[in-house]
Structure 1
Amino acid sequence: MQRTRMRAAGIAAAVTLTLVLGGCSSSGSDSAGGGGDGTGTLKFWGWSPGYADAVKAFNKSHPDIKVEYQEVQPGAKGGYQKMLNAVQAGNAPCLAQVGYETLPSFAAQGALSDVAKYANGDKGDFQQAAWRSVSLGDAVYGAPVDTGPMALFYNKKVYDELDLKPPKTWAEYKTQAKKIHASDSERYISSPYLNYDYAGLSWQAGASWFGIDGDAWKVGLASKANEKVAGYWQGLADDGLISKAPMYDQSWYTGIGNGNIASVVGAVWQAGVIKGGAKDGSGDWAVAPMPQWQAGDSAVGNAGGSATAVLKGCESTKAAWTFAHWLSTDRKAYGGLVDKASLYPAAPALLDLPQLKAKDPYFGGQKIYDVFADAAPKVNSDWTWGPVMTKTSADLDDALGKAWAGKGTFKDALRTTQDKTVGELKNQGLKVTE
């Protein structure tokens, strides 16, 4: 997976620049990797379906370590801010689910603990790309859990009814959007995309948001490449071809279930979201590769992928690593995460799990993970996450939300977010170029 390896290297470089220019500690607290004898009680915050059951299984098999799991809002919906607030207040959990895209921000704010002393021996258990996503130099901040290659989820029942095939290009996708809406005024090809779901669309197109220019951050949310992606979705919205139902709202699940929302361009884990929230759609859906900007291309975006991070202040980092590593590598536990959350493992030894080879009744008996196995090596490599992603994503959500509602343009949303991001970077004393 050479392309993905290159992306992870970019993330590591980005974190390095953030720490050097921002003067932040690379290890949070406990840079020596302490943790006593590896026993104790650990709090763990996350949101993925299946985590609670995995914690129960771990506690049964590890009597010397007790993990107390608390479900929090997904990161972009408040979970990350809750974690950072807890770190600042000195009462953070030892462990937290943190997306790869947000780890640079956590590192820049000194919110992570270095567990390299315990983790380095297990480095070979993970894809090189995923390992680079949780490490910086000699420091390791947690265990990789999953990756998020993207594909097209589509309602095959609707497509068959209208004699449509999965679109090969985005131009074809737009043509289908018109036909789907013309068939029923309540039907739409898709719904609004925000934060990291929208990022995945930019990612596929090579429309980078951040880069590194010498000793400065380069911010490019308002670049010509990003304007191209924004203009495409602006056109669909202006033509009334996009549902008003916000993603993950009950109206969205209803639309997925009854066929009024005919497709979702999303990461592998969206399979679990769709299955869990739109049970009425069972048997109607299928998965195909992402549409391409140019016929014959094979670029793939990425949305998500997370780690079990060890937060600053954890007094038992050895025990924390024991759990984090187990969660990512235990075959039975991870099989449950595939079943419940459609996670795609960052540990190569798990790629032969029977859950990843099984036919899925919800998707008409399709072996959907075959699509993602093909997509994963094609993830566009030219992507770097910025050092203030919690703010960037919040500002982008606000601006894009207005654009989807017709209260602004996508181009303006990107420019507004870029300006706010540049201002925040400068406030933190970081060098910036646009």
Structure 2
Amino acid sequence: MKSQWRLAGVVLAGALLVTGCGGGGAAATGGKVDLSFWDWDPNMDQVVAIWNTAHPDIHVTLTNPAGGDQLVAKMVTAHQAGNGPDLAKVEYQSLPSLVSNGVVADISQYTADTVRQFDEPTLRSTRFDGKVYGVPQDVAPLMLFYRKDIFQQYGIEVPTTWQDYATAAATLHQKAPAVSMTNFDAADPGWFTGLMQQAGADWWSASGDTWRVDINGSASKKVADYWQKLVADGLVAKNPSFSPQWNKQMNDGSLATWISGAWAPAQLGGIAPATKGKWAVAPLPAWSPGDRATGIWGGSATTVTADAKHPAEAAQFASWLNTDAEAITAQIRQINIYPAATAGRSLPVLSSPPAFFPDQANFYDLVKGVAPTARSFSMWGPNVTVTFSGYTDRFAAALQSGGSFGAALDAVQSSTVADMKKLGFAVS
């Protein structure tokens, strides 16, 4: 991992130079510092207001220009124009490309104490070449969300292995043909990469200056073949998540489970309002009995950009946002995050279940037990957007035509490697 960014060294060195020469803060200038913060979380303004009240000399102005990949594109464009924000929320998989393009800054010198409040698996997503490029905000271990009323009605036990899950799906299809076990989402690769991670896949790795890409390796093919059989047997629906049709199916009981991140309770109220109290959560089914490993779907960090005029104060806010008990509690209440900070997972606010799961008192105990076993890839590649676009194109085509999911993985592998070589990366 030591040198995977060397090929982007010119732009990265420029970013580090900006960081090293960043202007002093309120203490140095004797004046008020104004920081701009790009973030798409609903109700984040209420959390920022807590900071602004307690820190009159460092004011944070929040804007929501876009979310996810759209925000990343806006960050790159703003950086090229020299007018990026001071801080920005960045999903973990997007961070490597922003590092290699010099958009986000190394904040190691400001976060020596901060990083002690996170476990190593969490920090791995924000630290490259020993440098810190963001403060983790949340983690999103994959969990199994299931309709307990449907399971009870049709005598289905909560599956603990993927074989159990396939058996339950077949039983449900036989007893209630109009109800699918879940859907296969070819439009959003987040859940599927999480399943690959759980199975032990590692899509990107690096040794010295050379990358290795293993998107179509044996672990990935195992997952793809498993889901292809569920699709071929008519046990899962084919429509994408978060579509109007999917929302309707989730609300009317046409779908019995949802494989999602720990953030799911924050979404279910808008997706399926009629189902409050009907859902429960369990650990993700395992490939081998007793294996507690899971993957992740989502998770983000608060980054300081290379354009920040006051990087020390920006890093101070990023640290407060993601380690201060009051700030984390507010985010749990207002945004429904599951905190990345280790101590944050034991806050009193998590002693009560999410509002949409009023009868599952152990909701957060289950998530807390799973979180340490959640694995991501050892690193995300420098062209994740190309990989994800390949997934949506190839898997959507295979889903509709009955084509091979394994062949779709082969195509994603080829397009990812070709793009990395075009960008100048050495790929074995």
Asked if Structure 1 and Structure 2 have the same fold, meaning a TM-score greater than 0.5 normalized by the shorter chain, the answer is: yes
* Contact 2:4-2:210 within 8 A present in 1 as well: no
Is 1:416 aligned with 2:411?
Answer: yes
Q: CA deviation at 1:202?
A: 0.4
Tell me which residue corresponds to 2:216: 222
Unaligned runs of at least 5 residues, structure 2: 27-31
Tell me which residue corresponds to 1:35: 23
Unaligned runs of at least 5 residues, structure 1: 1-12
Tell me which residue corresponds to 1:305: 299
Match runs of 1:6-405 below 5 Å: 13=1, 16-24=2-10, 25=12, 28=15, 30-32=18-20, 34-38=22-26, 39-76=32-69, 78-137=70-129, 139-193=131-185, 194-213=188-207, 215-366=209-360, 367-380=362-375, 383-405=378-400
For the residues of structure 2 that align with 1:191 and 1:222, how far apart are their CA atoms?
22
* Contact 1:105-1:390 within 8 A present in 2 as well: no
SS of the residue corresponding to residue 288 of structure 2 reads coil
Q: CA deviation at 1:89?
A: 2.8
Higher mean displacement: 334-343 or 191-200? 334-343
For the residues of structure 2 that align with 1:48 and 1:408, how far apart are their CA atoms?
37
SS of the residue corresponding to residue 111 of structure 2 reads helix
For the residues of structure 1 that align with 2:58 and 2:355, how far apart are their CA atoms?
37
Higher mean displacement: 61-70 or 314-323? 61-70
* Contact 2:3-2:208 within 8 A present in 1 as well: no
The verdict on how the C-alpha distance between 1:186 and 1:64 changes in structure 2, with shifts beyond 3 A counting, is farther
For the residues of structure 2 that align with 1:215 and 1:103, how far apart are their CA atoms?
19
Scaled by the length of structure 1, what TM-score is found? Answer: 0.89
For the residues of structure 2 that align with 1:339 and 1:402, how far apart are their CA atoms?
40
Q: CA deviation at 1:422?
A: 0.5
Q: CA deviation at 1:121?
A: 3.7
Deviations 1:126-165 (A, max 9, x none): 3343334323345322211112222111111111111112
Q: CA deviation at 1:104?
A: 1.3
SS of the residue corresponding to residue 83 of structure 2 reads coil
Q: CA deviation at 1:215?
A: 3.6
For the residues of structure 1 that align with 2:272 and 2:191, how far apart are their CA atoms?
19
Deviations 1:273-300 (A, max 9, x none): 2234322211000011111112232221
Q: CA deviation at 1:27?
A: 6.5
SS of the residue corresponding to residue 251 of structure 2 reads helix
Letter in 2 for 1:89: A
Higher mean displacement: 406-415 or 222-231? 406-415
For the residues of structure 1 that align with 2:394 and 2:62, how far apart are their CA atoms?
34
For the residues of structure 2 that align with 1:425 and 1:180, how far apart are their CA atoms?
44
The verdict on how the C-alpha distance between 1:35 and 1:214 changes in structure 2, with shifts beyond 3 A counting, is closer
* Contact 1:273-1:341 within 8 A present in 2 as well: no
The verdict on how the C-alpha distance between 1:92 and 1:399 changes in structure 2, with shifts beyond 3 A counting, is farther
* Contact 1:218-1:432 within 8 A present in 2 as well: yes
Q: CA deviation at 1:224?
A: 2.2
* Contact 1:302-1:379 within 8 A present in 2 as well: yes
* Contact 1:33-1:115 within 8 A present in 2 as well: no
User: Where has structure 1 moved over 4 Å in runs of 4 or more?
Assistant: none
Tell me which residue corresponds to 1:4: none
* Contact 1:286-1:363 within 8 A present in 2 as well: yes
For the residues of structure 2 that align with 1:203 and 1:27, how far apart are their CA atoms?
33
The verdict on how the C-alpha distance between 1:298 and 1:28 changes in structure 2, with shifts beyond 3 A counting, is same
Deviations 1:299-323 (A, max 9, x none): 2112222100112211121221122
SS of the residue corresponding to residue 23 of structure 2 reads coil
Higher mean displacement: 104-113 or 179-188? 179-188
Identity %: 34
Deviations 1:177-211 (A, max 9, x none): 22333444432111223322110000000122122
SS of the residue corresponding to residue 190 of structure 1 reads coil
* Contact 2:231-2:238 within 8 A present in 1 as well: no
Letter in 1 for 2:51: F
For the residues of structure 2 that align with 1:93 and 1:108, how far apart are their CA atoms?
18
Deviations 1:313-369 (A, max 9, x none): 111212211221121123233223223433222222222212211134422421211
Tell me which residue corresponds to 1:3: none
| Pairs aligned (count) | 418
* Contact 1:272-1:340 within 8 A present in 2 as well: no
Letter in 2 for 1:28: A
Q: CA deviation at 1:86?
A: 2.2
